[in-house]
Structure 1
């Protein structure tokens, strides 16, 4: 059903749950999986007097490379094809959702699986939501995986696989 699945990763538990679901979907569909880490250096790093924003940038790239290696290892264990990427927003403080959209288009993805923290009210207003922004711009189906929810099934077991049958 799906040929190319993009899964944004950021090191959070929520993104990890989404990646695990995307990994399962890629394995079951014989699809290529593209984990994506976006480096976005906050504008504040450039405005702090006497601070070198390259330190933040380098740290974020190191984290991206670590996550890239971890996702690639998981993909190899599951025999899932694809290549993880680490990319940077076009400008400091750039829009992560737009960067994800650009990569989804460039890689001809037909599904994006991403985590959502499910923030509401003032927290959502203050912190924003990459998932919500991306969803409003998306050109292909988007599967949002919630962060850990009390009493919910793990992401990998949230839906029956194509080979399993639902009980009658």
Structure 2
């Protein structure tokens, strides 16, 4: 059914659960997985002038590489073929969803799998939703895996802006 599954990785609990589902589907379908990490550069522009943006970007890239390596290790243990891709700059400032859709189209993926934090109300209106953006912009099937509301990616611990 699916031959190419793109998995959006962000290092958080919902992405971890999404990885579990993607690996299971890949094993059943004998599909390949593409692990995709898109660096969220939106805070770099807000911090310009007050912080070393090159250093901050480097830290974000290292965090993405770690998330991709851990996800690839899980694929390897499950005997699932995978490739990794890290995108340092989204297509537009902070535009993670458009970048995910573009990478899914160019690969080309049969399915997009990603975690979601399931925020509602004012918090979602202020922060936006990467998963909602992907759903709105793609014609591919999307599998969203929701994590418990109290979890967030390690690189966002203590911050109020979950990515997906």
Q: Give the TM-score normalised by the residue count of structure 1.
A: 0.82
Q: Which residue does 1:24 correspond to in 2? A: 24
Q: Which residue does 1:118 correspond to in 2? A: 118
- Where 1:84 maps in the other structure, the secondary structure is strand
CA shift, 1:49, in A, is 2.6
Whole-angstrom CA distance in 1 between matches of 2:138 and 2:145:
16
- Where 2:115 maps in the other structure, the secondary structure is strand
Max radius of gyration: which structure?
1
Q: Which residue does 1:161 correspond to in 2? A: none
Q: Give the TM-score normalised by the residue count of structure 2.
A: 0.84
**Mind listing any 5+ residue stretches in structure 1 that lack a counterpart?**
150-168
C-alpha distance after superposition, 1:57-111 (max 9, x if no partner):
1011101111121111111111101202111234672310011011101111010
Number of residue pairs matched by the alignment: 150
Q: Which residue does 1:107 correspond to in 2? A: 107
Q: Which residue does 2:130 correspond to in 1? A: 130
Instruction: Describe the shift of the 1:116–1:90 C-alpha distance in structure 2 as closer, same or farther (beyond 3 A).
Output: closer
**Mind listing any 5+ residue stretches in structure 2 that lack a counterpart?**
150-164
Moved over 6 A (4+): none
Whole-angstrom CA distance in 2 between matches of 1:135 and 1:91:
17
- Where 1:20 maps in the other structure, the secondary structure is helix
